[in-house]
Amino acid sequence: MPHPSDIPLLEALTETGEKLLERHLATTKEWFPHKLVPWSRSTDYDDDYEWNPREAGVPEAVRSALFVNTLTEDNLPYYFRDIERMFGRDGAWGEWVRRWTAEEGRHGMVLNQYLQASRAIDPVELERGRMVQMSSGAVPEPETVVDGLAYVTLQELATRISHFNTGSHLTDPAGKAIMRRVAADENLHFLFYRDAMSAVIEVDPSRAVIAIERQVAGFAMPGTAIPGFAAHSKAIADSGIYDIAIHHDQILKPVIVRDWAVEKLEGLSPEAEESRRRLIKRIDRIGKVGRRMATRRAERLAAQPEPVSV
Banded pLDDT at 119 (limits 50, 70, 90): very high
Banded pLDDT at 306 (limits 50, 70, 90): low
Reported as a single tens digit per residue, the pLDDT across 145-173 is: 999 999 999 999 999 999 999 999 999 99
**C-alpha dist (Å) from residue 63 to 43, 66, 114, 125:** 20, 5, 13, 12
Quote the CA–CA distance of 151 and 125 in Å, as a whole number.
Answer: 30
Quote the CA–CA distance of 121 and 37 in Å, as a whole number.
Answer: 15
Domains of the chain: 4-42+55-295 (1.10.620.20)
This prediction has a pTM of 0.94
State CA 152 to chain mean position distance. 8
Residue 236 has pLDDT above 50, yes or no: yes
Contact 65, 236 (CB under 8 A): yes
Reported as a single tens digit per residue, the pLDDT across 57-81 is: 899 999 999 999 999 999 999 999 9
Instruction: Report the alpha-carbon angle 11-16-17, nearest 5.
Output: 75
Reported as a single tens digit per residue, the pLDDT across 170-186 is: 999 999 999 999 999 99
Quote the CA–CA distance of 262 and 266 in Å, as a whole number.
Answer: 9
Quote the CA–CA distance of 99 and 115 in Å, as a whole number.
Answer: 25
Rounded to the nearest 10 degrees, the angle between the axes of helix 145-168 and helix 60-74 is: 150
Tell me phi and psi for residue 164, to 5 degrees.
-65, -45
Quote the CA–CA distance of 151 and 213 in Å, as a whole number.
Answer: 10
